[in-house]
Every structure is written in C-alpha cells, then in structure tokens.
Structure 1
C-alpha cells in the first residue's frame, strides 16, 4: 500500500476514534436523540443535492437509515449522554463484527468459523468483566445500550451485504435523509421540547463543532474515504485497520476529556481487543501455518 493510501486509512480511523469525543461534547449541550437527528441532517444537506441517488430500492435506504441512524447512533448517543465513557464506547462498538457474522449466519446462511466463535467468546467475556463493576442500573444501562447499538450496526452491515455492490458514498448520503424525522419525533416524545429548545438556544461552540464533525467529517469524509480505499484494495487488507478506531478513541478521550479507566475496565478491554484480534487474524495465521 502506498504511503498516501496508508495515511488516508489512518486519517479515517483517527476521525472515527476522535468522533466519540465530539459525541460527548454534543450531548452535553443538546439532548442525545435530537443531536443524533442533527448529525444526519448535516450529513444529508446539502450533499443530497449534488450526489446521484443510489440504484437501490427505497425500502433498502429506509431500512438502513433506521438501523444505523435511529437505532445504532440513537442508542450510542443516549448511552454516552447517560455516562458511558467515550473511549470505552469506541471499543464496545467493535462488537459489531461478531453481531455481523452471527446475523449473516441466520439471514444469509454464511458459515461461522472457529476463530469467529473463539473471538466472540473472548470478547463477550471481556464485556462481562467490564459489567462486574457496573451492576447498578444507572451504570449498567448505558453499557447495555452500547452493546445494543453494536448489534444494530451489525444489522445495518447485513442490509449492505444483501444490497450487493453499491456506491457507498451515495448510499450514505441518501440514507441520511431517513433518520432526522423519526429522531426528532422521538426526541419530542422522550426528551421533551423544553430541553431541546434550551439546548439549541444555549449551544456552545463545541456543540456546533460536534454537529459539523459528526455530519461531515465522521459520516461523509470518513465513509467516503473508506469506500474509496475498499474499491482499491481487498476488504481483508482494509478491514483490520478498524481495530485502530478504539485505540484512537481511548487515546483522544484520555487527552481531551481526561477519562481514566479502572483495573477491571483495562482487563475487560484487553479481552475485547484480544477477541477482535482472533477474529481478524486467526484465519490468516491458520492458513500460513498449514502452508508452512
């Protein structure tokens, strides 16, 4: 891989990691569901006027928008708003890899190899370790919401797999039209108009930066560059770089938010990361060992 493309892929994983910090800044100003809607409004406008609509059924766009926008990011923003550490959230979200192959087994008939099973067992053992000191409902709930968010990320991946070859940048832009209306409606019902109006009238510079960074940097630039890289290289070459997202997330959360991790969180995070490593690199090592 040329140095230019290596720098691009490192830029994307850094953007996605730092984005968890921007989410924290955003939900400190504006209620999380409404903030999620603003994220997707920014991602859709004005890009939708300049990008051709992807050649996919409307139901696919709507289903993907609901899964990734309303469910995945709605739950993630709410979890961080309720106290889920941003750095830890960036790691737990990578459970989407295990949910993806489990859902692919159920809906697409894909086989699960032993490395996926072993990796999932190790990773979810790590989640159990992290949960040991979060048994009170007010701290356990954000953790469970984050795990559920990863599940819906996996579900959105299945929608993409069933769609087949598609211009991902166009797909992301047009599917971003879906989440704002249901998210704003849910926000009015759950969070209430008072907190929303108060948040919007008192929003800080960091809050505005959160909307811009989430909508343009993390969504359009991130997914746009990622799709370009996937078009140039095999997925097996690009996908392992996603393991750097929680690294960037935890480092940026420590530097910018002053987040610290407890002993159990360190051990649990190490297990989750080890499970992801087994899932990504296990099959390759097995093939090389057999070849040797």
Structure 2
C-alpha cells in the first residue's frame, strides 16, 4: 500500500475512533434519530448544489445511502443512546471487517489468503482481549445486538462501493446523504415525538452544534471519502481490517474523555490487534521473503 494511502488510512482511523465519543455527547443532548437527520442534512446541503452526481447507476447511490448512511447509523446511534459504552461500541462495530471479507468472498469471489485468515484471526483474539477488560459498565444486550446490525450494514455498504467500481467518492458521499434525512425524521417523529424534536431544535447548545459539525463534516465527508478511495484502490481483504485499529483509538478516547477506564487486558489486546493488522497488510510480502530466502547448505 503506497505511503499516501497509509496516511489516509491513519486519518480515517483517528477520525472514526474519536467519532464514538462525539456520538455519545450528541445523543446526550439530541434524540438519536433527530441527530442522524441533522448529520446527513448537513452532509448533503448545500454540497449537493455544487457537487456533480456520481457517474454510476442510481442503484449504487441508493444502496450506499441505505446501508452506510442510514442502516449503520440508525442502529449505532440507538445502541449508544440505549447505553452501549462508546469505547465498546467502537470495538463491536469492527465486526464489519469480518462481515465485509466474508461477503466479498461469497459475492465477489475475492480470494482469502492464509495471511488474511491468520491476521484477522489474531485481530479477533485482540478484540476479545480488549473486551475482557471492559468492567466499567454493563453492556446492554440490545445495544450489543444493534451495534452488530450496524456493523453488518457497514459491511454491505463496503460491497456496494466495490461493485460500483471507480467512483468520485465526494460525489457518492454527498448524493448518498440525500436518502437518510427523511427516514431519520420519520423515525424521530414516530418514536421521539414532534414536541421533543422541536424542543431540541429550539434549544441546541454550542456543544450539540459542534457535534453535528464534526459528524457531518469530519466523520462523514472526510472519513468516508478517504475510506471509499481506499476500497476502490485495494482488495477488500486488505482494506477492511484496517478498521480494527479504530477501537484502539476509540477506547483511548473513551478513557481520556468519558473516564471509561482501560484495564491491562485492553492494553494487551490493542497490541495484539496491531500485530494482526500488520500480518494482514504485510503477510504476503513476509511469506514471499521467507520462500525466497536462500537455503543454507
């Protein structure tokens, strides 16, 4: 992977790792479905007036909007609102890496190499170790399940992007964001109530405004544009596991900002995740080097 793509991946990891703490602040002040609507309204407008429609069939734009924009965040926002700790949400959501690789193998017939299996397997061990140290809060079962559904939605969106082929990601993100606001507003009206919606909008704090700005401008426009470019340039099995670093950042941010303390097992788990990621990214090169090493005589 070229250096510029490695740097882009690091930006995505930091932006999305901090994203979970920002979401936690957001749902503490704004109902989750209304927060989702505000996020994508400001992703789409006014940018859609200036950014051309992506040069792909509409089914891909709708599929992207329905999976990555709507499905993922309906379930993630609701999970965090219902008590899923921000740090652990960042951890569980990375099940998308495994969902993505599995769907790509089934649908796109992408090859899964030995180093991919070993690297992802090692990263799973690291994620389990991260979870083992999470004794600061009880994890609600419904929140855990909703986060897994969000991960599956993200994985489906990754496959939509891969099937769409080369596409200008800024256009895809902006035009895909046109789909979620109305469903989010309908869900908010149905479950949160018009009175609560109006009261939240009339009494937005500066922190809530900053949350919406971060979620729409940084986490969505910057994060998903860079992520989509990585998916378009590299095999899914190489890109998707990069997200396994996100919970390391997410847990650190939750520790520093929300006082969700990290235990020894979580620190050790983060190191194991890094080793698994390195094996996934560089395993082919390492194995080739071992095979080509001159044999001692």
TM tier relative to shorter chain = 0.7 to 0.9
Q: Does structure 1 retain, via aligned residues, the 8 Å contact 2:54–2:168?
A: yes
TM-score (norm 2): 0.81
Q: Which residue of 2 aligns with 1:20?
A: 20
Within 5 Å, give how 1:3-42 maps onto structure 2.
10-42=10-42
Q: Which moved more, 1:267-276 or 1:95-104?
A: 267-276
Q: Does structure 1 retain, via aligned residues, the 8 Å contact 2:161–2:228?
A: no
**Cα distance change on mapping 1:235 and 1:71 into 2, 3 Å:** closer
Which sections of structure 1, spanning at least 5 residues, go unmatched? none
Deviation of 1:181 after TM superposition, in Å, equals 0.9
Q: CA RMSD in A?
A: 3.5
Aligned mates of 2:38, 2:26 — CA distance in 1? 10
Aligned mates of 1:2, 1:286 — CA distance in 2? 19
Q: Which residue of 2 aligns with 1:183?
A: 184
Q: Does structure 2 retain, via aligned residues, the 8 Å contact 1:29–1:202?
A: no
Deviation of 1:92 after TM superposition, in Å, equals 2.7
Deviation of 1:39 after TM superposition, in Å, equals 0.8
Deviation of 1:59 after TM superposition, in Å, equals 1.7
Determine whether 1:52 maps to 2:18.
no
Aligned mates of 1:268, 1:5 — CA distance in 2? 25
String of CA shifts for 1:15-34, please: whole Å, max 9, x gaps.
22222211111111111122
Aligned length: 291
Q: Does structure 2 retain, via aligned residues, the 8 Å contact 1:130–1:269?
A: no
Q: Which residue of 2 aligns with 1:261?
A: 262
Aligned mates of 2:122, 2:230 — CA distance in 1? 30
Aligned mates of 1:227, 1:245 — CA distance in 2? 16
String of CA shifts for 1:205-254, please: whole Å, max 9, x gaps.
21111111000111112334556778899999987764543333222222
String of CA shifts for 1:50-100, please: whole Å, max 9, x gaps.
101011111211111011122111111111112222222223322222111
Q: Which moved more, 1:44-53 or 1:113-122?
A: 113-122
Q: Which residue of 1 aligns with 2:101?
A: 101
Determine whether 1:161 maps to 2:162.
yes
Q: Which moved more, 1:184-193 or 1:116-125?
A: 116-125
Determine whether 1:208 maps to 2:222.
no
Aligned mates of 2:132, 2:185 — CA distance in 1? 31
**Cα distance change on mapping 1:20 and 1:121 into 2, 3 Å:** same
Determine whether 1:75 maps to 2:61.
no
Aligned mates of 1:291, 1:83 — CA distance in 2? 52
**Cα distance change on mapping 1:35 and 1:247 into 2, 3 Å:** same
**Cα distance change on mapping 1:192 and 1:283 into 2, 3 Å:** farther
**Cα distance change on mapping 1:278 and 1:147 into 2, 3 Å:** farther
**Cα distance change on mapping 1:100 and 1:233 into 2, 3 Å:** closer
Q: Which residue of 2 aligns with 1:192?
A: 193
Q: Does structure 1 retain, via aligned residues, the 8 Å contact 2:248–2:270?
A: no
